[in-house]
Homo-oligomer: A and B are copies of this chain.
Protein backbone atom coordinates (compact mmCIF):
# COMPACT_ATOMS: atom_id res chain seq x y z
CA UNK A 1 0.00 0.00 0.00
CA UNK A 2 1.58 3.24 -1.13
CA UNK A 3 0.39 6.72 -0.30
CA UNK A 4 -0.63 7.04 -3.91
CA UNK A 5 -3.01 4.06 -3.91
CA UNK A 6 -4.64 5.39 -0.74
CA UNK A 7 -5.38 8.80 -2.18
CA UNK A 8 -6.44 7.62 -5.64
CA UNK A 9 -8.93 4.79 -5.33
CA UNK A 10 -9.31 3.03 -8.63
CA UNK A 11 -13.00 2.51 -7.93
CA UNK A 12 -14.62 5.66 -9.26
CA UNK A 13 -17.08 6.59 -6.51
CA UNK A 14 -18.48 9.58 -8.38
CA UNK A 15 -19.27 7.41 -11.39
CA UNK A 16 -20.97 4.83 -9.14
CA UNK A 17 -23.04 7.56 -7.55
CA UNK A 18 -24.16 8.76 -10.99
CA UNK A 19 -25.18 5.25 -11.99
CA UNK A 20 -27.20 4.81 -8.79
CA UNK A 21 -28.88 8.17 -9.36
CA UNK A 22 -29.69 7.25 -12.96
CA UNK A 23 -31.20 3.97 -11.79
CA UNK A 24 -33.42 5.81 -9.30
CA UNK A 25 -34.40 8.43 -11.83
CA UNK A 26 -35.27 5.86 -14.51
CA UNK A 27 -37.33 3.84 -12.04
CA UNK A 28 -39.30 6.90 -10.93
CA UNK A 29 -39.85 8.13 -14.50
CA UNK A 30 -41.40 4.73 -15.24
CA UNK A 31 -43.52 5.03 -12.09
CA UNK A 32 -44.71 8.47 -13.20
CA UNK A 33 -45.72 7.09 -16.59
CA UNK A 34 -47.41 4.10 -14.94
CA UNK A 35 -49.39 6.44 -12.69
CA UNK A 36 -50.51 8.59 -15.60
CA UNK A 37 -51.62 5.49 -17.52
CA UNK A 38 -53.88 4.52 -14.63
CA UNK A 39 -55.18 8.05 -13.89
CA UNK A 40 -53.23 8.07 -10.64
CA UNK A 41 -51.72 11.29 -9.31
CA UNK A 42 -48.11 11.76 -10.46
CA UNK A 43 -47.40 13.61 -7.18
CA UNK A 44 -46.05 10.54 -5.40
CA UNK A 45 -43.23 9.64 -7.85
CA UNK A 46 -42.67 13.36 -8.49
CA UNK A 47 -42.16 14.05 -4.78
CA UNK A 48 -39.64 11.21 -4.55
CA UNK A 49 -37.79 12.40 -7.66
CA UNK A 50 -37.51 15.90 -6.20
CA UNK A 51 -36.41 14.53 -2.86
CA UNK A 52 -33.70 12.32 -4.34
CA UNK A 53 -32.54 14.98 -6.80
CA UNK A 54 -31.95 17.45 -3.95
CA UNK A 55 -28.72 15.70 -3.02
CA UNK A 56 -27.51 13.41 -0.29
CA UNK A 57 -24.22 11.64 0.24
CA UNK A 58 -25.39 8.28 -1.20
CA UNK A 59 -23.26 6.65 1.49
CA UNK A 60 -25.39 3.51 1.76
CA UNK A 61 -25.45 2.72 -1.97
CA UNK A 62 -21.70 3.33 -2.25
CA UNK A 63 -21.03 1.03 0.70
CA UNK A 64 -23.23 -1.62 -0.88
CA UNK A 65 -21.17 -1.57 -4.07
CA UNK A 66 -17.94 -1.53 -2.05
CA UNK A 67 -19.12 -4.52 -0.01
CA UNK A 68 -19.50 -6.39 -3.28
CA UNK A 69 -16.00 -5.38 -4.41
CA UNK A 70 -14.54 -6.19 -0.98
CA UNK A 71 -16.00 -9.70 -1.23
CA UNK A 72 -14.36 -10.18 -4.61
CA UNK A 73 -17.38 -9.31 -6.75
CA UNK A 74 -16.41 -8.94 -10.41
CA UNK A 75 -18.01 -8.59 -13.82
CA UNK A 76 -21.57 -7.45 -14.47
CA UNK A 77 -22.62 -5.19 -11.59
CA UNK A 78 -26.05 -4.11 -12.88
CA UNK A 79 -27.89 -6.02 -10.13
CA UNK A 80 -25.51 -4.55 -7.54
CA UNK A 81 -26.24 -0.99 -8.70
CA UNK A 82 -29.97 -1.67 -8.59
CA UNK A 83 -29.68 -3.05 -5.06
CA UNK A 84 -27.69 0.04 -4.11
CA UNK A 85 -30.52 2.15 -5.53
CA UNK A 86 -33.00 0.16 -3.44
CA UNK A 87 -31.03 1.09 -0.31
CA UNK A 88 -31.18 4.77 -1.23
CA UNK A 89 -34.94 4.49 -1.82
CA UNK A 90 -35.29 2.89 1.60
CA UNK A 91 -33.27 5.75 3.04
CA UNK A 92 -35.67 8.25 1.42
CA UNK A 93 -38.46 6.48 3.35
CA UNK A 94 -36.50 6.88 6.60
CA UNK A 95 -35.74 10.54 6.06
CA UNK A 96 -39.24 11.54 4.94
CA UNK A 97 -40.74 9.95 8.06
CA UNK A 98 -37.93 11.29 10.29
CA UNK A 99 -38.61 14.82 9.09
CA UNK A 100 -42.28 14.46 10.09
CA UNK A 101 -41.31 13.14 13.53
CA UNK A 102 -38.70 15.84 14.06
CA UNK A 103 -41.03 18.49 12.69
CA UNK A 104 -38.17 19.63 10.43
CA UNK A 105 -38.90 22.40 7.95
CA UNK A 106 -35.84 21.95 5.73
CA UNK A 107 -33.63 19.13 4.47
CA UNK A 108 -30.80 19.45 1.96
CA UNK A 109 -31.55 23.18 1.80
CA UNK A 110 -35.12 22.66 0.58
CA UNK A 111 -38.49 22.41 2.31
CA UNK A 112 -39.12 18.91 3.68
CA UNK A 113 -41.75 16.77 1.91
CA UNK A 114 -44.46 17.39 4.51
CA UNK A 115 -43.78 21.14 4.64
CA UNK A 116 -43.74 21.45 0.88
CA UNK A 117 -47.18 19.79 0.52
CA UNK A 118 -48.56 21.65 3.53
CA UNK A 119 -47.51 24.96 1.95
CA UNK A 120 -48.87 24.05 -1.48
CA UNK A 121 -52.34 23.23 -0.09
CA UNK A 122 -52.31 25.55 2.92
CA UNK A 123 -53.04 22.58 5.17
CA UNK A 124 -50.55 21.23 7.74
CA UNK A 125 -52.32 17.94 8.48
CA UNK A 126 -52.64 17.17 4.76
CA UNK A 127 -48.90 17.73 4.34
CA UNK A 128 -48.11 15.33 7.16
CA UNK A 129 -50.53 12.67 5.92
CA UNK A 130 -49.33 12.86 2.31
CA UNK A 131 -45.69 12.65 3.46
CA UNK A 132 -46.44 9.58 5.59
CA UNK A 133 -47.82 7.93 2.43
CA UNK A 134 -45.00 9.11 0.17
CA UNK A 135 -42.56 7.64 2.70
CA UNK A 136 -44.55 4.40 2.79
CA UNK A 137 -44.40 4.26 -1.01
CA UNK A 138 -40.62 4.76 -0.96
CA UNK A 139 -40.38 1.71 1.31
CA UNK A 140 -42.64 -0.35 -0.98
CA UNK A 141 -40.73 0.75 -4.06
CA UNK A 142 -37.34 0.02 -2.51
CA UNK A 143 -38.52 -3.60 -2.40
CA UNK A 144 -39.67 -3.44 -6.00
CA UNK A 145 -36.20 -2.25 -7.04
CA UNK A 146 -34.72 -5.14 -5.11
CA UNK A 147 -37.04 -7.83 -6.46
CA UNK A 148 -36.69 -6.72 -10.07
CA UNK A 149 -32.89 -6.67 -9.98
CA UNK A 150 -32.59 -10.13 -11.50
CA UNK A 151 -30.85 -11.75 -8.51
CA UNK A 152 -30.65 -15.54 -8.59
CA UNK A 153 -33.04 -17.04 -6.03
CA UNK A 154 -30.43 -18.17 -3.46
CA UNK A 155 -28.85 -14.73 -3.45
CA UNK A 156 -32.14 -12.88 -3.19
CA UNK A 157 -33.12 -15.08 -0.23
CA UNK A 158 -29.83 -14.28 1.54
CA UNK A 159 -30.17 -10.59 0.65
CA UNK A 160 -33.71 -10.44 2.04
CA UNK A 161 -32.41 -11.70 5.39
CA UNK A 162 -29.90 -8.84 5.51
CA UNK A 163 -32.50 -6.30 4.37
CA UNK A 164 -35.09 -7.52 6.87
CA UNK A 165 -32.53 -7.21 9.68
CA UNK A 166 -31.49 -3.75 8.44
CA UNK A 167 -35.03 -2.44 8.34
CA UNK A 168 -35.79 -3.66 11.83
CA UNK A 169 -32.59 -2.06 13.13
CA UNK A 170 -33.27 1.24 11.37
CA UNK A 171 -36.80 1.45 12.77
CA UNK A 172 -35.71 0.41 16.26
CA UNK A 173 -32.91 2.98 16.09
CA UNK A 174 -35.37 5.68 15.22
CA UNK A 175 -37.73 4.54 17.97
CA UNK A 176 -34.93 4.63 20.56
CA UNK A 177 -33.95 8.07 19.29
CA UNK A 178 -37.52 9.27 19.73
CA UNK A 179 -37.71 7.96 23.29
CA UNK A 180 -34.31 9.17 24.63
CA UNK A 181 -35.66 12.58 25.67
CA UNK A 182 -37.89 10.78 28.20
CA UNK A 183 -34.76 9.56 30.06
CA UNK A 184 -31.97 11.51 31.78
CA UNK A 185 -29.66 13.63 29.59
CA UNK A 186 -26.66 12.01 31.30
CA UNK A 187 -27.47 8.53 29.94
CA UNK A 188 -24.56 8.00 27.57
CA UNK A 189 -25.34 4.30 27.10
CA UNK A 190 -28.83 5.10 25.76
CA UNK A 191 -27.32 7.64 23.36
CA UNK A 192 -24.73 5.10 22.19
CA UNK A 193 -27.43 2.49 21.60
CA UNK A 194 -29.19 4.90 19.24
CA UNK A 195 -25.89 5.45 17.42
CA UNK A 196 -25.32 1.73 17.05
CA UNK A 197 -28.73 0.92 15.64
CA UNK A 198 -29.45 4.01 13.63
CA UNK A 199 -26.05 4.59 12.14
CA UNK A 200 -23.44 1.90 12.80
CA UNK A 201 -25.68 -0.98 11.77
CA UNK A 202 -28.16 0.67 9.44
CA UNK A 203 -25.88 3.10 7.62
CA UNK A 204 -22.61 1.22 7.37
CA UNK A 205 -22.70 -2.43 8.40
CA UNK A 206 -25.83 -3.60 6.58
CA UNK A 207 -25.13 -1.86 3.25
CA UNK A 208 -21.70 -3.53 3.21
CA UNK A 209 -23.32 -6.86 4.09
CA UNK A 210 -25.85 -6.40 1.27
CA UNK A 211 -23.04 -5.97 -1.23
CA UNK A 212 -21.00 -8.84 0.20
CA UNK A 213 -24.07 -11.08 -0.02
CA UNK A 214 -24.31 -10.32 -3.73
CA UNK A 215 -20.79 -11.75 -4.11
CA UNK A 216 -21.85 -14.84 -2.10
CA UNK A 217 -19.43 -13.92 0.71
CA UNK A 218 -18.89 -16.32 3.59
CA UNK A 219 -19.82 -15.48 7.18
CA UNK A 220 -16.19 -14.66 8.03
CA UNK A 221 -16.12 -11.83 5.55
CA UNK A 222 -19.35 -10.41 6.96
CA UNK A 223 -17.74 -10.45 10.40
CA UNK A 224 -14.59 -8.78 9.08
CA UNK A 225 -16.62 -6.06 7.39
CA UNK A 226 -18.48 -5.45 10.66
CA UNK A 227 -15.17 -4.74 12.39
CA UNK A 228 -14.69 -1.87 9.93
CA UNK A 229 -18.33 -0.83 9.79
CA UNK A 230 -19.36 -0.55 13.42
CA UNK A 231 -16.62 1.82 14.67
CA UNK A 232 -16.84 3.84 11.46
CA UNK A 233 -20.62 4.14 11.80
CA UNK A 234 -20.21 5.38 15.37
CA UNK A 235 -17.62 7.91 14.22
CA UNK A 236 -19.95 9.02 11.43
CA UNK A 237 -22.81 9.68 13.85
CA UNK A 238 -20.58 11.40 16.42
CA UNK A 239 -19.45 13.73 13.62
CA UNK A 240 -23.10 14.27 12.73
CA UNK A 241 -23.90 15.19 16.31
CA UNK A 242 -21.04 17.74 16.32
CA UNK A 243 -22.22 19.19 13.00
CA UNK A 244 -25.72 19.49 14.44
CA UNK A 245 -24.34 21.91 17.04
CA UNK A 246 -21.26 23.42 15.42
CA UNK A 247 -21.95 22.94 11.69
CA UNK A 248 -22.42 25.65 9.11
CA UNK A 249 -26.04 25.67 7.81
CA UNK A 250 -24.79 26.53 4.31
CA UNK A 251 -22.91 23.21 4.31
CA UNK A 252 -25.32 20.96 6.23
CA UNK A 253 -28.49 22.23 4.49
CA UNK A 254 -30.37 22.53 7.78
CA UNK A 255 -30.65 25.24 10.42
CA UNK A 256 -28.04 24.77 13.15
CA UNK A 257 -30.64 25.19 15.90
CA UNK A 258 -32.81 22.26 14.75
CA UNK A 259 -30.96 19.49 16.59
CA UNK A 260 -30.78 21.40 19.85
CA UNK A 261 -34.43 22.43 19.68
CA UNK A 262 -35.45 18.83 19.05
CA UNK A 263 -33.62 17.87 22.22
CA UNK A 264 -32.37 14.48 21.02
CA UNK A 265 -30.02 13.02 23.62
CA UNK A 266 -26.68 12.65 21.88
CA UNK A 267 -23.44 11.22 23.26
CA UNK A 268 -22.08 14.79 23.09
CA UNK A 269 -24.82 16.11 25.36
CA UNK A 270 -24.61 13.10 27.69
CA UNK A 271 -20.88 13.68 28.21
CA UNK A 272 -21.45 17.39 28.84
CA UNK A 273 -24.29 16.69 31.29
CA UNK A 274 -22.14 14.17 33.19
CA UNK A 275 -19.28 16.64 33.55
CA UNK A 276 -21.35 19.77 34.08
CA UNK A 277 -21.52 21.66 37.38
CA UNK A 278 -24.96 22.49 38.75
CA UNK A 279 -25.29 25.78 36.91
CA UNK A 280 -24.20 24.22 33.63
CA UNK A 281 -26.54 21.27 34.04
CA UNK A 282 -29.46 23.60 34.76
CA UNK A 283 -28.60 25.51 31.63
CA UNK A 284 -28.57 22.32 29.53
CA UNK A 285 -31.85 21.11 31.01
CA UNK A 286 -33.45 24.47 30.33
CA UNK A 287 -32.20 25.03 26.78
CA UNK A 288 -31.84 21.58 25.17
CA UNK A 289 -35.21 20.65 23.64
CA UNK A 290 -36.51 24.19 24.09
CA UNK A 291 -38.51 25.12 20.99
CA UNK A 292 -37.74 28.82 21.54
CA UNK A 293 -33.98 28.34 21.62
CA UNK A 294 -32.22 31.20 19.78
CA UNK A 295 -28.65 31.78 18.62
CA UNK A 296 -27.64 33.24 21.96
CA UNK A 297 -28.93 30.16 23.77
CA UNK A 298 -27.12 27.89 21.33
CA UNK A 299 -23.91 29.82 21.98
CA UNK A 300 -24.34 29.21 25.72
CA UNK A 301 -24.79 25.49 25.11
CA UNK A 302 -21.63 25.46 22.98
CA UNK A 303 -19.70 27.07 25.83
CA UNK A 304 -20.83 24.28 28.17
CA UNK A 305 -19.88 21.63 25.57
CA UNK A 306 -16.45 23.22 25.22
CA UNK A 307 -15.65 23.97 28.86
CA UNK A 308 -16.77 20.55 30.14
CA UNK A 309 -14.45 18.97 27.58
CA UNK A 310 -17.36 17.08 25.97
CA UNK A 311 -16.59 18.55 22.56
CA UNK A 312 -12.94 17.51 22.71
CA UNK A 313 -13.87 14.08 24.09
CA UNK A 314 -16.20 13.42 21.14
CA UNK A 315 -13.44 14.45 18.72
CA UNK A 316 -11.20 11.90 20.48
CA UNK A 317 -13.89 9.23 20.18
CA UNK A 318 -14.16 9.94 16.45
CA UNK A 319 -10.39 9.66 16.02
CA UNK A 320 -10.22 6.39 17.96
CA UNK A 321 -13.06 4.83 16.01
CA UNK A 322 -11.70 6.00 12.68
CA UNK A 323 -8.39 4.34 13.56
CA UNK A 324 -10.16 1.11 14.60
CA UNK A 325 -11.98 1.03 11.27
CA UNK A 326 -8.73 1.49 9.34
CA UNK A 327 -6.96 -1.19 11.39
CA UNK A 328 -9.78 -3.61 10.66
CA UNK A 329 -9.20 -3.06 6.95
CA UNK A 330 -5.56 -4.10 7.28
CA UNK A 331 -6.36 -7.49 8.81
CA UNK A 332 -8.09 -8.87 5.71
CA UNK A 333 -6.61 -9.26 2.21
CA UNK A 334 -9.33 -7.22 0.51
CA UNK A 335 -8.78 -6.35 -3.14
CA UNK A 336 -6.58 -3.22 -2.92
CA UNK A 337 -9.01 -1.03 -4.87
CA UNK A 338 -11.84 -1.95 -2.48
CA UNK A 339 -9.68 -1.31 0.60
CA UNK A 340 -8.57 2.05 -0.81
CA UNK A 341 -12.14 3.08 -1.48
CA UNK A 342 -13.22 2.02 2.03
CA UNK A 343 -10.38 4.13 3.47
CA UNK A 344 -11.52 7.04 1.36
CA UNK A 345 -15.15 6.65 2.52
CA UNK A 346 -13.94 6.49 6.14
CA UNK A 347 -12.05 9.75 5.75
CA UNK A 348 -15.03 11.44 4.15
CA UNK A 349 -17.36 10.21 6.88
CA UNK A 350 -15.32 11.56 9.77
CA UNK A 351 -13.82 14.70 8.24
CA UNK A 352 -16.89 16.07 6.51
CA UNK A 353 -18.50 19.45 7.10
CA UNK A 354 -21.96 18.49 5.83
Q: Which residues of A contact B (CB under 8 A)?
A: 35, 39-41, 43-44, 93, 97, 100-101, 103, 121, 125-126, 128-130, 132-133, 136-137, 139-141, 143-144, 147, 153-154, 156-157, 160-161, 164, 167-168, 171-172, 174-176, 178-179, 182, 193
Contact = CB atoms under 8 A, between A and B. Distances in A.
Contacts of A129: 100-101, 178
A139 B137 contact: no
Contacts of A121: 182
A93 B97 CA distance: 14
Given A139-B136, A164-B140, A171-B136, A41 B125 contact: no
A138 B321 CA distance: 34
Number of copies: 2
Nearest to A132: B97
Contacts of A40: 172, 176
28 contacts: A40-B172, A41-B176, A44-B172, A93-B136, A97-B133, A97-B136, A100-B129, A101-B132, A101-B133, A103-B125, A129-B178, A130-B178, A130-B179, A133-B174, A137-B168, A137-B171, A137-B172, A137-B175, A139-B139, A140-B167, A141-B168, A143-B164, A143-B167, A144-B164, A147-B160, A153-B154, A153-B156, A153-B157
Given A140-B164, A153-B156, 4 more contacts: A97-B133, A147-B157, A153-B154, A153-B157
10 cross-chain pairs, A with B, having the tightest CB-CB distances, nearest first: A153-B153, A101-B129, A140-B167, A147-B160, A133-B175, A144-B164, A137-B171, A136-B171, A129-B178, A40-B172
A39 B175 CA distance: 13
Q: Identify the interface centre among A128, A129, A178: most chain B CB within 10 Å of its CB.
A: A129
A168 B143 contact: no
A157 B176 CA distance: 34
A178 B144 contact: no
A251 to B, nearest CB: 27
Nearest to A143: B164
Contacts of A164: 140, 143-144, 147
Contacts of A139: 136, 139
Nearest to A101: B129
A156 to B, nearest CB: 8
A35 B35 CA distance: 39
A197 B346 CA distance: 46
Given A139-B139, A143-B164, A164-B144, A130 B175 contact: yes
Contacts of A140: 164, 167-168, 171
A178 B41 contact: no
Nearest to A145: B164
Contacts of A141: 168
A131 to B, nearest CB: 10
Nearest to A197: B40
Contacts of A161: 147
A160 B144 CA distance: 9
Contacts of A132: 97, 100-101, 132
A211 to B, nearest CB: 19
A347 B215 CA distance: 52
Nearest to A163: B143
A44 B140 CA distance: 21
A144 B165 CA distance: 9
